A and B are shown apart, each in its own frame.
Chain A
């Protein structure tokens, strides 16, 4: 029973922290660009403001536009149930790593459909670009997941986390590190971060993710924004839990849990700093240069699988 409660607390924490992570990244970016920047709780205020407003829906749009915000939100919540963050308990019996990949894919599929639904030009551009990016990055994600699945002999994320966390240093090797590197590129590509897409642009010809949200307003927009914040948090959490989970609580005792929470927060902060540094120091890649980066991620994951077999 205690493990179930802990798993639910963990999910609630992930869902509650998601806007904060986005706020922290924005604040860090502001500091690096010598700006003061909005307070780190600003995303909560933005979401609350949007939730109070009504939404305008195009006359020509169908039910797809109506249900997409809920589909996105629900699949992110289900995904959050599956991901271990500070303790190796979760509702993992609901699904494994593969289910996780396809929950993210479902979000993307519905977002792209909704962007096409209203028939605006920007939406069409956005969804075609999103599909280009996702078709290139999804194999990389699957291969890097397969690497850890091969290393640990299971595809359940909770078991992967606890096997790596308890086996000490013997699993650290080229395979694990290459898979981690490939997944980090996937974190940037999947969440519309800088070398792939710029999260702070509105109404630019180069936007990908924002272009798909242009038709949304008010409450629907809040749900879409919130789901993408949760998605970022989940990807960052998975990057640590699936590849370098050391520090996570593998048993339910007070000291282990306390350590787990502290280490988890430190890990989130570390990747937030990494993302902020990348976004402040790099320019967005041209769209036609993107396949180079994304194929690179695929090759990293491929090398990870290969070095599992060869070495």
Chain B
């Protein structure tokens, strides 16, 4: 009996200790990024262009703007496709061949490493256009968003009970009105939640941008152009080894982390279910 209780106690201690230890990297990374990044921050850092190599000062304004532009384009492509396919799978699929194929496509896409989506956008768009372009980056990122939003939309809509649907049918409403106004209305929160999380997720994605939007030292001049982004800037500057650039990479990391974590924390606070 003693042996048994000792084992129990041992497991209790081990699991407590390990759980506490997992808090260490989180706090370490967050504090590290705040401390090292804060020294780089200034208004100038946020609103100006990178300084030419060898000169002091300069900022990352173009990268901040670039990330926002690329994300916005990705949302324009990804959200409608994600929501529409979610609606289709939940309400109109009826076990058709298209829906089975669509489900396979969405399940598989959600497990594909993001670097491969970048290579896909490269092969499909960059090669054909003949130069790096932010459009290809947005396309790659939108493929990350589609499964997240589609699955959450479908699940959200499927929770709407038969009673509510029948109530609506009994009012004589056509199916498309019921689907949009009532079912999607009830599933609204899971659509919004998943869209925000997908936005946070793509804000941190770097690999798909390396071969698509690449980088630029100038303000964005058009959507069909190479474009700077916070993510690629962090990678390039951190890997450069020049101290002044590494400091800028930490500063950019701080901004990126604030963006991503604040969305995650907000979503967690305002929704009970995090998809």
A binds B: no
Q: Interface of A with B (CB < 8 Å)?
A: none
